[in-house]
Structure 1
Amino acid sequence: MTADTTTPPPFGRALCAMITPFTATGDLDLDTARQHASRLVAEGCDGLVLSGTTGESPTTTDAEKTALLRAVRETVGKAVPLVAGVGSPDTRHTLRLAREAEEAGADGLLVVTPYYSRPPQAAVETYFSRVADAVGIPLMVYDIPGRTGTRIEPETLLRLAEHPRIVAVKDCSYDLLAATKVMSRTSLAYYSGCEELNLPLYALGGAGYVSTVANVAPRQMRAVLDAFDTGDTAGAAHLNELTIELVELMMASGLPGTVTAKTLLPTGPVREPLQPAGDEAADALRGAHERLLAATLAERP
């Protein structure tokens, strides 16, 4: 394969890694999920990623994942790409989740590297190929070695790119050299999974982002890409700078992004073992969020 920069991103550019709302008693809250999904799309998200890390996939049941996907699909319609998280450390379980997500209306699958067992690269390659062979919808492979313990090495990605249904990467490797190498030699669409690298990766030819921060600032995250696309690179850099305080507090403060996002949203609690943010962290998050919204509102024509 060769890279083709004219090919539209398979799931859009600005994707939100959507939180999963729960009621006060910890049950799945589909009404709030529908409302939140509608707002995200209305405020600039091209697509939504459900049941990923931010969606608390480790603590939601298979039935809850399917119910959430069906509810969001009914709400946003067929025109909005929905990518369902289906990865697990068990290939059989992942295959079952993949088929169920396809049946429930997913446009694509987010498949994380098998975690904990730390399989070698040949086994990683076989895992992703097995999932891609089992469904008729495209895959976004999720490279996040900091959580899984296993990197998807560039040479593995080069081979996986030959599969017709492996079309994208959610990149949390923090390795721009490797990403550039793979993008230059394949047609894989690279989505940044680390907000601080959204603009750098996009400038190198990335497809866009899958963002946790977009749950609370969808317009502001998208505006960076929009400015870059018009050729206003200085404007894109400035808009990106405005997001940094909130990005750092949400994604690099020692709290999981799920916790920080739900601190700023009326979407219910996190599930244990996660715990809510403390008062000091919550106040800092709210302050940064308010400053970002005020700054971007002041700059509108």
Structure 2
Amino acid sequence: MMSDTSRAADAEPLSLDGILFFPVTPFTADGGVDRDVLAEHIRSKLPFAPGGMFPACGTGELHALSTAEAAIVVEEAVAAAEGRIPVVAGTGGPLGSALELARNAERAGADALLVLPPYLVQGPGAGVTRYIEELAAATSLPVIVYSRANARFTARQMRELALNPKVIGFKDGVGDIGLAQEISLSVREVRPDFLFFNGLLTAELTQGAYRGIGMPLYSSAAFAFLPEVANLYYRAFSAGDEDLRNRLLREFYVPLVTLRDETPGFGVSLIKAGCRLRGLDVGGVRAPLVDPSPEQLGRLERLVERGLELAQELEGPFA
């Protein structure tokens, strides 16, 4: 029988060095994917040096895209990235659709896949593991497992999946710190190079805790509309500047989370609204999500203004 380490020995690690960018999916007035605005959205963030890009994922409303639309999003993302950063495409939902999404992403030139949960049904652990294995086998792309909703993984499951060299990472969207610690400890015994991500909404708020259990990477949806603040937070986090990091949390991220928690789905809706406030017409969100009310939009606008003030005031240590 092949040993734990030899089965994973030929794994090719994905380099994700820096803040991770989760672009929104812009829509035209008639409801289609707006290729031009998507390209502008992505190119405008590249000067802020993201370490990787995750198109057609949660922030990009994968749940509301057809497989053909998701393919357009990934194609445009790969073209706009121009090989400068890794592109990790979203897949998930019904297995047939997930397989199609994965193959389309490979054809478009994506570097890896982020596997979101399957659709609706609550399968046993063995079934969820098989879902990941089937997607990993469908293309030559490495996959990152996203644990959340109806696809939650135990330490034993993740250790088993980590023996597959095509499975290269784990993203935690559950928020059980104890379980996440068990998973990282167990997996690192067989895969020291495995990637670990904090995938909670507005992850900056919880990243201090995730760093403590060995999960240094995190999703930054805020980068999509306020890269000045998201980058400042990332640099403070990386440098261990807790005073600066905590000030950004108190004065920007905590108020943003308070607004986000008022309405289900605002983890996406506020990001798109923030893009519009910054002058990029990305359209609204698709059902079942809703856009902010005028009053909520006004509060978000004040938060954006405060964030930009903080970025200008606090940029000094990293200029």
Is the shorter-chain TM-score for this pair beyond 0.5, marking a shared fold?
A: yes
Q: Residue in 1 aligned with 2:235? A: 226
Pair 1:10–1:242, CA change in 2 (3 A): farther
Q: How does 1:261-280 map to 2 (within 5 A)?
A: 261-265=271-275, 266-280=281-295
In 2: Cα distance, 1:75 partner to 1:197 partner: 31
In 1: Cα distance, 2:64 partner to 2:142 partner: 25
Amino acid at match of 2:157: T
Shift of 1:61: 1.5
Shift of 1:229: 2.7
Q: Is the 8 A contact 1:15 1:49 kept in 2?
A: yes
Amino acid at match of 1:36: H
Q: How does 1:50-89 map to 2 (within 5 A)?
A: 50-88=55-93
1:253 counterpart = 2:262: yes
Q: Residue in 1 aligned with 2:161? A: 160
SS of corresponding position for 1:167: strand
1:11 counterpart = 2:12: no
SS of corresponding position for 1:28: coil
1:26 counterpart = 2:31: yes
In 1: Cα distance, 2:39 partner to 2:31 partner: 17
In 2: Cα distance, 1:203 partner to 1:233 partner: 14
Structure with more relative contact order (C-alpha pairs < 8 Å, separation 6 or more): 1
Shift of 1:126: 0.8
Amino acid at match of 2:68: A
In 1: Cα distance, 2:270 partner to 2:240 partner: 33
In 2: Cα distance, 1:33 partner to 1:41 partner: 13
CA deviation string 1:80-123 (max 9, x = no partner): 111111111x2232122111111111111010122311000000
Amino acid at match of 2:261: A
Amino acid at match of 1:39: S
What TM-score comes out, normalization by structure 1 length? 0.89
Amino acid at match of 1:277: P
Q: Residue in 2 aligned with 1:46? A: 51
Q: Is the 8 A contact 1:24 1:268 kept in 2?
A: yes
Amino acid at match of 1:125: T
Q: Is the 8 A contact 1:250 1:261 kept in 2?
A: no
CA deviation string 1:233-263 (max 9, x = no partner): 4433333434323531454222422211111
Q: Is the 8 A contact 2:67 2:97 kept in 1?
A: no
SS of corresponding position for 2:122: coil
Q: Is the 8 A contact 1:49 1:82 kept in 2?
A: yes
Q: Is the 8 A contact 1:30 1:71 kept in 2?
A: yes
Q: Residue in 1 aligned with 2:183? A: 182
Pair 1:8–1:244, CA change in 2 (3 A): farther
Amino acid at match of 1:80: I
Q: How many pairs align?
A: 293
In 2: Cα distance, 1:232 partner to 1:82 partner: 29
Pair 1:213–1:155, CA change in 2 (3 A): same
Q: How does 1:143-158 map to 2 (within 5 A)?
A: 143-145=147-149, 149-158=150-159
Pair 1:251–1:144, CA change in 2 (3 A): farther
In 2: Cα distance, 1:219 partner to 1:9 partner: 25
Shift of 1:176: 1.4
Pair 1:246–1:85, CA change in 2 (3 A): farther
Amino acid at match of 2:135: V
Q: Is the 8 A contact 2:264 2:289 kept in 1?
A: no
Shift of 1:44: 3.4
Pair 1:8–1:61, CA change in 2 (3 A): closer
In 2: Cα distance, 1:8 partner to 1:131 partner: 18
Pair 1:70–1:214, CA change in 2 (3 A): same
